[in-house]
Amino acid sequence: MENLSWLHKHMRSHLSEAPRGRQANSTTDGASFAPTTVHSDGRTALELIEQAADLFKSVEEQAQQFETRARALAEGAIQKLQLAEDKIRVLRDDQAAAQTRITQLHDELQELREALKRERTRVEAAENRLPGLEMRARTAEARAEDFETTLSHIEEAIRTKLLRGGPSAHHRAAA
């Protein structure tokens, strides 16, 4: 951009230093060029150079704006990428923790299954012993009834003997 500024200044100074009162130059065919024509051609060239400089300046500004936007977009993309990577790390950590918990729960479930199996075996054994226990209970009840009946008979016999023998028999039994 500095080269364009230098060229612009150089052309202005060159055109302003050109002799103003120069006589018309003749050519071989007799045509003459007026100083105004040279001066106006120089001015046109200067204007074209200014337009080119403005165009280059505009292109340079647009390039800077584009670069600024590109940098901002790149920085935004980098930030989003970093956030995404952080989120992926967190999700992987969560997944690992969940997998660990699943393994623990699986182990606990296996232990519960084994405990349930042992309990079922114990219940089956108790159920298998139940008819025998019921039979023993009925036998014990029958024997108890027999003992009660026998005891009743013995008590009755004792009372009968005591009452038949009278009071002297009671005293004799006590002595």
Q: What is the pLDDT of residues 101-155, one digit of tens each?
A: 999 999 999 999 999 999 999 999 999 999 999 999 999 999 999 999 999 999 9
Residue 72 lies in a domain: yes
Most confident of 2-11, 29-38, 108-117: 108-117
Q: Please tell me what DSSP assigns to residue 33.
A: E
The answer as to whether 85 is a domain residue is yes
Domain for residue 26, yes or no? no
Which residues have a Cβ under 8 Å from the Cβ of 18 and sit 6 or more positions away?
A: 35, 38, 39, 42
* pLDDT given at position 11: 66
Distances (CA, A) of 26 to 20, 32, 175: 17, 5, 189
Q: What average pLDDT is seen over the chain?
A: 83
Residue 145 belongs to some domain of the structure:
yes
In this predicted structure, what is the pLDDT of residue 34?
47
Domain carrying residue 97: 2-17+35-162
In this prediction, residues 2-24 reach a mean pLDDT of 60
What domain count does the chain have? Answer: 1
Q: At what angle do helices 35-174 and 2-17 cross, to 10 degrees?
A: 160
CA distance 114 to 12: 102
